[in-house]
Structure 1
């Protein structure tokens, strides 16, 4: 499947920003099952300096310095991506116990190595309630792929999708106790639960194609930034995506933008600026299949 992507992020400030340095993680990744055909990022106001690189986890980074005083910021990303992820046979994956043992023995130190996704990180903390939650579903003798899909389905069944009830700062323990949240919360909960039983799990930020009900037109801008989980299933299977918000595998409807230990590693816009008062932000995503 080929998609044209359009991401628009805007900020409005109550007072002029005198100096701003931003890190953008908005360009889709070129990785397994995903080919980046083109990508362009534009910024308003025009940056004083820009730079590009890839971070430790392989995410595309845009560095931006804006010195002219401004009361608004707009970031636009346009890309074309081809996604080809065949549906795997989850029954052929190693057992949960085998994956745990392989992760403990693995010594890959690069950004994709499982060792970086086993312990606590800035947002994700291992705790007994979350570990027990995973252990109840992901039994040691189950094929790990089937166990991950079962855990995704359990999270969707147990938790209410409730926009506005949590924020990016809500501790995952609170969302877990309240059994409500949004995709970011569900991804963090699944990650913490899996790390608690020794399985490497990563946070994925990207785009999800929304399919309208039969007979209804597709709405431009109806798609949104989404979050799901990559789980390492051993050296042969590697990383595989699971979407606990929708109880599904992350296949051709998912486009990966950034991967990290938690949201703190993949936030679309990071940085430092000088201003005062609360800022207002808005973002829209348009994910359009291309007929070829």
Structure 2
């Protein structure tokens, strides 16, 4: 599937911002069944410097700075991505080890071989360690249960136990608070699943991206009406790969998903953050459009 994604971020400041430094995670990844075909980033006013680099987890991170006073800022990321449906064969599903054996593989041992997945075992700013996550996760992790089966059942339980409610949480809401209140948005659903897996000694990471949504029957697709999305990813050592789970929608992400970045939690991969001088008050508008294109669609302009 070809997906065209436009992510627009616009700020209005009062008084003007004197100078600013911003960091972005807006460039889709090329990994697994996903290939970035074209990408353009437009910043207005034009920054004095703009550069890309890979962060600790292999995501593309963009940095730009503005040294002139400005009352408005526009950042538009325009991407064309080819996606494919990731499927596991019956043999691969059977290769999933019991979850306890996976936990034992990642238990600390002196002079053990390093495994990069072990970095996703520990608490992070938005995903703390707490017994509440152990208590919630335990019914899904029955003795001897294959890891994939346990993770799938955990995803289903989070979906049925939590209520999706816009504006019920904020960007900085910790996973524990969302779990206690029983409602949240996709970021919270993903954080809770990551926290539950880590509480059981299993590596899990946060994934940011987009989901192609379908308009109601007979209604046109509205430009800018989509939104960023988030889900969880669990490491399966028997397959030597990360497998994605979307507890918000109770499904495995497929070709209608676009991955931006992966990290310990939202803080590692927030679409845009920075430091400004001035601009005591601001108005933020974000608009995201995800639309399917035909295979012969032309490339995107810079």
- TM-score, normalising length: structure 1: 0.94
**Residue 28 in structure 1 maps to residue 31 in structure 2:** no
Question: Aligned pair 1:234/2:222, yes or no?
Answer: no
Q: 2:128 aligns with which of 125, 133, 136?
A: 125
Residues 187-210 of structure 1 deviation map (CA, whole Å, 9 limit, x = unaligned): 111111110001111011101111
Tell me the distance in 2 between the aligned counterparts of 1:66 and 1:259: 27
Residue 117 (structure 2) pairs with residue 114 (structure 1)? yes
Whole-angstrom CA distance in 2 between matches of 1:138 and 1:200: 14
Q: Which residue of 2 aligns with 1:210?
A: 213
Query: Does residue 66 of structure 2 align to residue 66 of structure 1?
Result: yes
**Which residue of 1 is the match for residue 299 of structure 2?**
none
Listed one character per residue, the Cα deviations across residues 105-127 of structure 1 (whole Å, up to 9, x for unaligned) are 77445xxx211100111211111
Q: How does 1:91-240 map to 2 (within 5 A)?
A: 91-92=93-94, 93-104=96-107, 107-108=113-114, 113-240=116-243
Within 5 Å, give how 1:38-77 maps onto structure 2.
38-77=38-77
Residues 13 and 72 of structure 2 are in contact (CA less than 8 Å); yes or no, is this contact kept in structure 1?
A: yes
Partner in structure 2 of residue 250 of structure 1: 253
Query: Which residue is equivalent to 1:286?
Result: 289
Residues of 1 paired with 2:291 and 2:39: CA distance?
A: 15
Query: Distance in 1 between the 2:38 and 2:180 partners?
Result: 42
User: Does the aligned pair in 1 maintain the 2:126–2:173 contact within 8 Å?
Assistant: no
Farther off after superposition, 227-236 or 93-102: 93-102
CA drift at 1:289: 1.1
SS of aligned partner of 1:14? strand
1-structure distance, mates of 2:202, 2:215: 35
Q: What do you get for the CA RMSD once the two structures are aligned?
A: 1.7
- Counterpart contact for 2:99–2:145, Cα < 8 Å: yes
Structure 2 unaligned segments of length 5 or more: list them.
296-302
Q: Deviation at 1:237?
A: 4.0
